[in-house]
């Protein structure tokens, strides 16, 4: 299924980088750990890093009901962006330097989640996005914790996906000059060895969902 | 020197994570490769990933003069956020799961850079942030390329920095129960082996500024 096209999801620069399949959008979102959520406060933009989770064509974020950035009205416009930096593109010219990346930008009105079942499913999706296996392993939220947690939904109705891959695009004259290196330095996210909480024995083995975890 | 405090840079949630020294702000910015720039278009927020560079207490972004997202008026409010994810914090409870991170959020009016010297210095800072050494190694921008590049400045006057480090903060009862693992899975950004442009011999050695590069 294709992504719908609106003015603000139409890629105007480097159209060849646009991806138009819904599966591409899901893939970029599902591979991420942090999103950057934009909202408007007093006419000015605010961009906050936060965790998120996806269920079908809805993405969820959450926060403490005491957090200032959550003072956002039901239905207010937000923008949720997820970016993966895959490589630094070194060109013969400064001008053609670039990045290899995958990014998804989702626009739409935020919806306050008030249904208890949806709230719980959303929290599960958020936790499983950040730390797959934790919902089963850890203690589930109790009534007090759920009451302290606000959950917001954003439909994946209006979104754009951009992907750049491959080598630099140098000018012919710069390639012909032959005197400069060009190429890509891959960038990857990796996990280190799990560090047990100091309240545990130092040799307490991490469970498989942590110890065997690999980046998407 | 301390960061100034305004309503929107006062951390309201997890105050212990706030950093108030200007050096902390510089450190978070200088260690990054991508920022997320927020602006307001037709009353809605738009959040775009892009490169950036810092000179003293000004941060710069750039883009093609043909890019739609650059249609932003001189003086319009923007928000520039840089986030480093340092670890996934596994707690005994789902509720206390968290992330270790460093983030900087800068607010202010954007300034169109029209001075040629400042434009060139800003481009150099942006290139050197993404690819240190490239300004010396690669061909500098010519007149046509400079004309095609818009540069925007944002003063670091109004900014907040948040840092979370260390183990999970579990409830005492969950720790006492003793039946669940908790700890931190470190997250790191690493570089792979440089991949020469296909127009170069496959064994063309990358120069030291690429081959010896390590993440900040």
Classify residue B133 as left (phi > 0), alpha (psi -120 to 50) or beta. left
Residues of A within 8 A of B97 (CB-CB) are 127, 130-131, 134, 138
Q: Do B36 and A40 touch (CB under 8 A)?
A: no
* Range(s) of the domain holding residue B50: 7-170+179-184
CA angle A134-A67-B160, nearest 5°? 105
Phi, psi (deg, nearest 5) at residue A142: -95, -175
Which residue, among A75, A94, A141, A158, would best test binding to B if mutated, counting the most B CBs under 10 Å from its CB? Answer: A94
| pLDDT tens column, A76-120 | 999 999 999 999 999 999 999 999 999 999 999 999 999 999 999
What residues contact B173, with CB distance under 8 A and at least 6 apart? none
B56–chain A nearest CA distance, Å = 22
ipTM of the complex: 0.96
Q: In this structure, is residue B205 part of a structural domain?
A: no
**Contact present, A39 and A80 (Cβ < 8 Å):** no
Longest Cα separation, chain B: 68
CATH number at residue B148: 2.30.110.10
Q: Is residue A197 part of a domain?
A: no
Nearest-CA distance A134 → chain B (Å): 7
Looking at chain B, the whole-number percentage of residues with pLDDT higher than 70 is 98
Residue B2 domain-assigned? no
pLDDT score, position A68 = 65
Residue of B nearest to A198 (CA): B167
CA distance A119 to A141: 11
Q: Is residue B216 part of a domain?
A: no
Q: What is the pLDDT of residue A28?
A: 98
Q: How far apart are the first and last CA of chain A?
A: 23
Q: How confident is the model at residue A70 (pLDDT cuts 50, 70, 90)?
A: low
Beta bridge pairs of residue A186: A87
Reported as a single tens digit per residue, the pLDDT across B134-163 is 999 999 999 999 999 999 999 999 999 999
Query: What is the structure's pLDDT at B75?
Result: 96
Residues B83-105 as b/e (b if ≥16 CB within 10 A, e otherwise) read bbbbbbbbbbbbbbbbbbbbbbb
B138:A180 CB<8 A: yes
Q: How many domains does chain B divide into?
A: 1
- For B181, the closest chain A residue by CA position comes to A206
Query: Is the distance from CB of A85 to CB of A25 less than 8 angstroms?
Result: no
- Nearest CA of chain B to the CA of A35: how many Å? 10
Nearest CB among A140, A191, A195 relative to B183 is that of: A195
pLDDT at A125: 98
CB atoms within 10 A of CB A171: 16
- A 10 A CB-CB count for B57 gives 13
User: What is the structure's pLDDT at B68?
Assistant: 66
Place of tokens 């013969």: A92
DSSP letters, A59-85, are EEEEEETT-GGG---TT-EEEEEEEEE
Q: Which residues of B touch A47 (CB under 8 A)?
A: 36-38, 45, 47, 79-81, 105
Would you say residue A57 lies in a domain? yes
Residues from chain A that touch B186, judged by Cβ atoms under 8 A, are 191-193, 195
Identify the CA nearest to A53 among candidates A76, A67, A72, A35: A35
φ, ψ of residue B136 to 5 degrees: the values are -75, -40
Would you state the pLDDT for residue B187? 98
CB contact under 8 A, B36 and A47: yes
Q: Do B44 and A134 touch (CB under 8 A)?
A: no
- Residue A146 forms part of a structural domain: yes
> Tokens 């607010």 map to which residue?
B107
How far CA B43 is from CA of A53, A76, A78, B107, B135, in Å, comes to 26, 10, 10, 17, 38
**Mutate which of B47, B178, B215 to disrupt the A interface (most A C-beta within 10 Å)?**
B47
Find out whether B49 and B34 touch, Cβ atoms under 8 Å.
yes
Length of chain B (residues) = 216
Q: How far is CA B185 from CA A213, B52, B89, B182, in A?
A: 9, 29, 7, 10
The predicted pLDDT at position B70 comes to 67
Which residues sit opposite A48 in a β-bridge?
Answer: A37
Please report whether residue A204 resides in a domain: no
- From the CA of B21, how many Å to the nearest CA of chain A? 20
User: Is residue B45 one of the residues assigned to a domain?
Assistant: yes
**Interface contacts (A, B; CB < 8 Å):** 300
Give residue B26's pLDDT band: very low, low, confident or very high (50, 70, 90).
Answer: very high
């Amino acid at each position: 299924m294709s992504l719908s096209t609106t003015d603000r999801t139409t890629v105007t620069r480097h159209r060849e980088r646009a991806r138009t399949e819904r599966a591409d959008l899901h893939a970029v979102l599902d591979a991420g750990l942090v999103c950057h959520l934009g909202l408007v406060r007093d006419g000015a933009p605010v961009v906050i890093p936060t965790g998120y989770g996806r269920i079908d064509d809805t993405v969820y974020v959450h926060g403490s009901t005491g957090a200032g950035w959550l003072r956002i009205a039901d239905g207010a416009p937000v923008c949720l962006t997820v970016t993966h930096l895959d490589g630094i593109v070194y060109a013969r010219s400064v001008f053609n330097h670039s990045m290899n990346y995958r990014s998804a930008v989702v626009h739409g009105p935020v919806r306050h989640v008030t249904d208890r079942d949806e709230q719980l499913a959303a929290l599960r999706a958020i936790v499983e996005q950040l730390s797959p296996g934790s919902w089963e392993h850890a203690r589930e939220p109790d009534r007090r914790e759920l009451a302290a947690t606000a959950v917001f939904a954003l439909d994946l109705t209006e979104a754009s996906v951009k992907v750049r891959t491959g080598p630099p695009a140098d000018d012919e004259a710069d390639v012909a000059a032959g005197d400069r290196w060009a190429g890509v330095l891959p960038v990857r996210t990796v996990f280190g060895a799990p560090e047990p909480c100091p309240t545990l024995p130092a040799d307490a083995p991490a469970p498989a969902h942590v110890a065997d975890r690999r980046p998407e």
